[in-house]
Amino acid sequence: MRKVTLPIILIGLLSACSHDRSQYIKETTLVETVNVRATVDTIRILLDSIGLNSYIDFSYFITSDKEYFLGRNNSGKCFDLFDLTSRKFVTHIFLKDENDLIADVKAVKAIDFDNILVMLRGKLLTIDSSGVIKQTIDLYKIMGADFERLGDPAVHNHFPLNYLPSEQGGTTLFYSHRSTSNYVGKDVVLEFDHNANKLTLLPIKYSPYYSDKDGYLGYLTYINFGDATIDYIYYNFAYESNLYRFNRHNQQSEVFGGEVHGVRPLATALESPNEDQQQWTTHAIENAHYFRPLYDQFRHLIYRPVWKDIKYEREDSYFNDFIDKNLVISVFDDHGMKPIANHTLPPMRYAIHKWFVSKDGLALSPTHPENKNVKKNTLELHVFRFEN
Partner 1 sequence: MFFVLRINALFHRHIGLLLFFFTLACSDGSKDFVREDEIKRYLKDEHQFEHGDGEYYLILFSGHCGSCDDRSMALIQDLKKNKGVTRMGVVLHKDFSDHANLFKDSGVNVFHDTENRLLRYGLNLDRNVILVFDGDELVYWNWLHLDSFYDVRKDLDVGSES
Q: Which residues bind partner 1 (CB under 8 A)?
A: 2, 5-6, 8-9, 11-13, 15-16, 19, 271-272, 276-278, 280-281, 312-313, 318-319, 321-323, 369
For the chain, the three-class secondary structure string (H helix, E strand, C coil) is CHHHHHHHHHHHHHHHHHHHHHHHCCCCCCCCCCCCEEEEEEEEEECCCCCCCCCCCEEEEEECCEEEEEEEECCCCEEEEEECCCCEEEEEECCCCCHHHHHHCCEEEEEECCEEEEEECCEEEEECCCCCEEEEEEHHHHHHHHHHHHCEEECECCECCCCECCCCCCEEEEEEECCCCCCCCCEEEEEEECCCCEEEEEEEECCHHHHHCCCCCCCCCCEEEEEECCCEEEEEECCECCEEEEECCCCEEEEECCCCCCCCCECCCCCCCCCCHHHHHHHHHHCCEECCCEEECCCCEEEEEEECCCCCECCCCCECCHHHCCEEEEEEECCCCCEEEEEECCCCCCCCCCEEEECCEEEECCCCCCCCCCCCCEEEEEEEEEEC
Nearer to partner 1, 11 or 196 (CB): 11
Q: Closest Cα to residue 170, out of 246, 79, 109?
A: 109
Among 229, 230, 228, which Cα is nearest to 292's? Answer: 228
Please report how close the Cβ of residue 52 comes to partner 1 at its closest, in angstroms: 15
**CB nearer partner 1, residue 4 or residue 145:** 4
Minimal distance, residue 314 CB to partner 1, in Å: 9
Residue closer to partner 1 (CB basis): 2 or 249: 2
Instruction: Give the nearest distance from C-beta 322 to partner 1 in angstroms.
Output: 7
Q: How far is the CB of 173 from partner 1 (least distance, A)?
A: 28
| Min CB(242)–partner 1 separation in Å | 22
**Cβ at position 175, least distance to partner 1 in Å:** 21
Judged by CB, which is closer to partner 1: 254, or 276?
Answer: 276
* 153, burial (CB in 10 Å: exposed 0-12, middle 13-18, buried 19+): buried
Q: How far apart are the C-alpha atoms of 350 and 355, rounded to whole Å?
A: 9
Q: 250 or 318, CB closer to partner 1?
A: 318
Query: Which residue, 2 or 261, has its beta carbon nearer to partner 1?
Result: 2
By the 8 A CB rule, do 66 and 85 touch? Answer: yes
Is 32 or 275 the residue whose CB approaches partner 1 more closely?
Answer: 275
| Pick 213 or 292: Cβ nearer partner 1 | 213
**Residue with Cβ nearer partner 1 (8 or 230):** 8
Smallest separation, CB 371 to partner 1 (Å): 13
Smallest distance, Å, CB 105 to partner 1?
16
Least spacing, CB of residue 79 vs partner 1, in Å: 22
80, β-bridge pairs: 71, 92
